[in-house]
C-alpha cells in the first residue's frame, strides 16, 4: 500500500514539472533594457508602406510577446516608426511609441522625410526594450534655422506648430527661433479660433523666417482702445497691454490703438507706481480707460522730491523732519540744505539783529520708496530768537 501511494505522488510531481516546462519559463517580474542608438549605426532608407491606419504587427507572432518602446528624445517632430520595414505607428517629442512585438531579432527604423535612422534589437521575453533615436536624429538629419514672428500684432503666448506639432510660443517683440529638418514644412500660428498657415522650405545652413503680423492684423477682429491719464501732469508714461509695451501716454495726449477683440489687461506706470485695469474690447467699437484719478492718488510725485513735513522750535533749536521721495525706477542719493531766517537781540538797548541758520541732510533712497530724516537748526546768536518757518534752500539728486 505504501509503495502504491509513493508511486502516485511521484507521477503527480512529474506531471506538474512537465506542464511547467511546456508553458514556458518561470518569470519573476520584468526588466527594462534601454538602448541609446549608437552614432555609428548606418542610416536606412524610408519604407514604402503607408504611415497611417491601424498599428500592424511587425512580423508574424511566434511565441511570447514583449513591450518595445521607441522615443526620439528632444527631437522636435512627429515621425513614422517602422519595424522590420512594416509601419508600426508614430512617435513625437515627449510621446514615445509603446507596442508589443514577438521575441527575436528586429530592425527598428525612424524616418524624417527621406532620411532614416535605424537600430537592430533583440527582444526577449520578460524584458522591456527601450530605444531612443534622439541623438542620432539630431546629428544625422540636416536641419536649418526658422524664425517665426508676429510683427506689430499685439499679443503674447500665441502657440506655434510645425506640421501640426506644437514647437513653442511667439509674442509681440519676441519671435520664436527653432531648428527644423530640411524640406517643406507648414507653420501655423493661432490667436483664439483664428489660425494662419504658411509653407516654408527649410535648407540646411540657411536661416528662414515667416512673419504672421499682417495676416493676424487683417483677420483677427479688432476694436479701438484709448488710454489717457486725465489731469495727472506727466509726460511719456509707458503703456502695457497684456504685459507688452505698446507706447506712451502724456497729459492731454492719450494713446489710441487697434487691439484684438476680447479681454485685455492694461497697465500705466509712473516710475515704480503702476496702475492696472481690465478692458473688454469689442469689434469695431471704442473702449476708453482713464488712469488719471488712480495716478493722482497713488503717484503724487512724478520726480524725485524733498519736502519738509514738520518742524518744532524749542528754545534756540529748530528740529525739522525732512521727507525724501523717489518715484523713479532707480535709487538716488538725495541731499538738501534746510534753512531758517531768525532775529535775535544782544541787549535790551539794541535793536534786533537778523541771521540765517542752515544745515545739510543727505539720504540714499531706494527706487519707489520714501524716507523721513530729522535735522536740527541751531539759532545760536543772541537771545529770544524769533524764527520763520524752515524752508528748503537747495536740493541735489545723484
pLDDT tens digits, 96-115:
999 999 999 999 999 988 88
pLDDT of residue 368: 82
- Do 131 and 110 form a contact (C-beta atoms < 8 A)? no
Integer Cα distance of 392 and 322 in angstroms: 9
Spell out the residues 6+ positions from residue 169 whose beta carbon is closer than 8 angstroms to its own: 157, 158, 159, 160, 176
Q: Is 193 exposed, middle or buried (0-12, 13-18, 19+ CB in 10 A)?
A: exposed
Say if residues 357 and 344 touch (Cβ distance below 8 Å): no
Please give the grid coordinates belonging to residue 13: 510531481
Contacts of 351 (CB under 8 A, 6+ apart): 345
Is residue 84 within 8 A of residue 146, CB to CB? The reply is no
| CA trace torsion 130, 131, 134, 137 (10° rounding) | -170
In CATH terms, the fold of domain 305-397 is Immunoglobulin-like (2.60.40)
CATH of 31-140, one of 1.10.10, 1.10.1060, 1.10.730, 2.60.40: 2.60.40
pLDDT given for residue 141 in this prediction: 85
What tens digit of pLDDT does each residue of 135-166 get?
999 888 888 999 999 998 888 899 999 988 88
The set of long-range contacts for 92-97, using a CB threshold of 8 Å and a minimum separation of 24, is 92/165, 93/165, 96/69, 96/70, 96/71, 96/72, 97/69, 97/70, 97/71
Q: What is the mean pLDDT of the chain?
A: 84
Task: Summarize pLDDT for 40-78 with one digit per residue, the tens.
Answer: 333 344 433 333 333 444 444 456 889 999 999 988 888
Give percent of the chain with pLDDT exceeding 90. 59
Q: What is the CATH number of domain 222-298?
A: 2.60.40.1120
Tell me the pTM: 0.56
Average confidence (pLDDT) over 87-92: 93
Give me the sheet containing 158-162, strands edge to edge. 165-170, 158-162, 183-191, 194-202
CA torsion, ordered 264, 270, 271, 275, to nearest 10 deg? -40
Helices (H), 223-337: 292-298
What are the extents of the domains in the chain?
A: 31-140, 143-219, 222-298, 305-397
pLDDT value, residue 70? 97
Fold observed for domain 143-219? Immunoglobulin-like (2.60.40)
| % residues pLDDT > 70 (the chain) | 84
Question: Mean pLDDT over residues 153-181, rounded?
Answer: 91
Beta bridge partners of 37: none
Residue 24 has pLDDT above 70, yes or no: no
Closest by CA position to 69, among listed 130, 111, 121: 130
Let me know if the fold of 31-140 is the same as that of 143-219. Answer: yes
Amino acid at each position: 500500500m505504501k509503495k502504491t501511494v509513493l508511486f502516485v505522488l511521484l507521477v503527480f510531481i512529474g506531471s506538474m514539472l512537465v506542464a511547467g516546462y511546456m508553458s514556458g519559463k518561470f518569470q519573476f517580474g520584468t526588466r527594462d533594457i534601454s538602448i541609446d542608438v549608437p552614432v555609428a549605426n548606418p542610416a536606412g532608407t524610408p519604407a514604402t508602406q503607408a504611415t497611417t491606419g491601424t498599428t500592424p504587427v511587425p512580423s508574424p507572432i511566434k511565441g511570447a510577446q514583449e513591450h518595445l518602446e521607441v522615443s526620439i528624445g528632444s527631437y522636435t517632430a512627429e515621425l513614422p516608426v517602422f519595424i522590420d520595414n512594416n509601419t508600426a505607428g508614430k512617435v513625437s517629442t515627449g510621446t514615445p511609441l509603446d507596442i508589443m512585438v514577438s521575441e527575436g531579432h528586429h530592425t527598428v527604423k525612424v524616418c524624417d522625410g527621406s532620411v532614416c535612422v535605424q537600430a537592430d534589437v533583440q527582444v526577449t521575453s520578460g524584458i522591456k526594450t527601450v530605444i531612443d533615436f534622439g541623438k542620432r536624429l539630431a546629428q544625422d538629419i540636416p536641419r536649418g534655422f526658422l524664425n517665426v514672428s508676429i510683427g506689430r500684432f499685439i499679443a503674447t503666448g500665441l502657440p506655434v506648430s510645425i506640421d501640426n506639432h506644437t514647437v513653442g510660443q511667439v509674442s509681440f517683440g519676441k519671435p520664436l527661433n527653432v531648428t527644423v529638418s530640411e524640406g517643406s514644412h507648414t507653420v501655423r500660428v493661432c490667436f483664439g479660433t483664428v489660425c494662419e498657415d504658411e509653407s516654408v522650405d527649410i535648407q540646411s545652413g540657411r536661416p528662414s523666417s515667416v512673419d504672421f503680423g499682417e495676416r493676424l492684423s487683417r483677420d483677427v477682429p479688432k476694436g479701438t482702445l484709448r488710454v489717457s491719464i486725465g489731469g495727472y501732469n506727466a509726460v511719456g508714461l509707458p503703456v502695457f497691454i497684456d504685459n507688452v509695451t505698446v507706447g506712451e501716454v502724456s497729459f492731454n495726449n492719450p494713446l489710441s490703438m487697434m487691439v484684438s477683440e476680447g479681454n485685455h489687461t492694461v497697465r500705466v506706470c509712473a516710475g515704480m507706481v503702476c496702475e492696472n485695469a481690465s478692458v473688454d474690447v469689442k469689434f469695431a467699437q471704442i473702449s476708453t480707460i482713464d488712469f488719471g484719478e488712480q495716478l493722482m492718488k497713488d503717484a503724487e510725485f512724478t520726480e524725485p522730491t524733498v519736502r519738509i513735513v514738520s518742524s518744532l522750535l524749542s528754545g534756540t533749536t529748530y528740529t525739522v523732519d525732512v521727507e525724501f521721495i523717489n518715484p523713479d525706477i532707480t535709487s538716488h542719493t538725495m541731499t538738501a540744505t534746510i534753512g531758517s531766517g531768525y532775529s535775535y537781540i544782544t541787549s535790551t538797548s539794541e535793536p534786533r539783529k537778523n541771521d540765517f541758520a542752515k544745515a545739510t541732510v543727505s539720504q540714499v533712497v531706494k527706487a519707489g520708496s520714501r524716507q523721513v530724516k530729522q535735522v536740527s537748526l541751531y539759532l545760536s546768536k543772541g537771545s529770544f530768537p524769533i524764527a520763520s518757518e524752515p524752508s528748503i534752500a537747495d536740493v541735489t539728486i545723484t
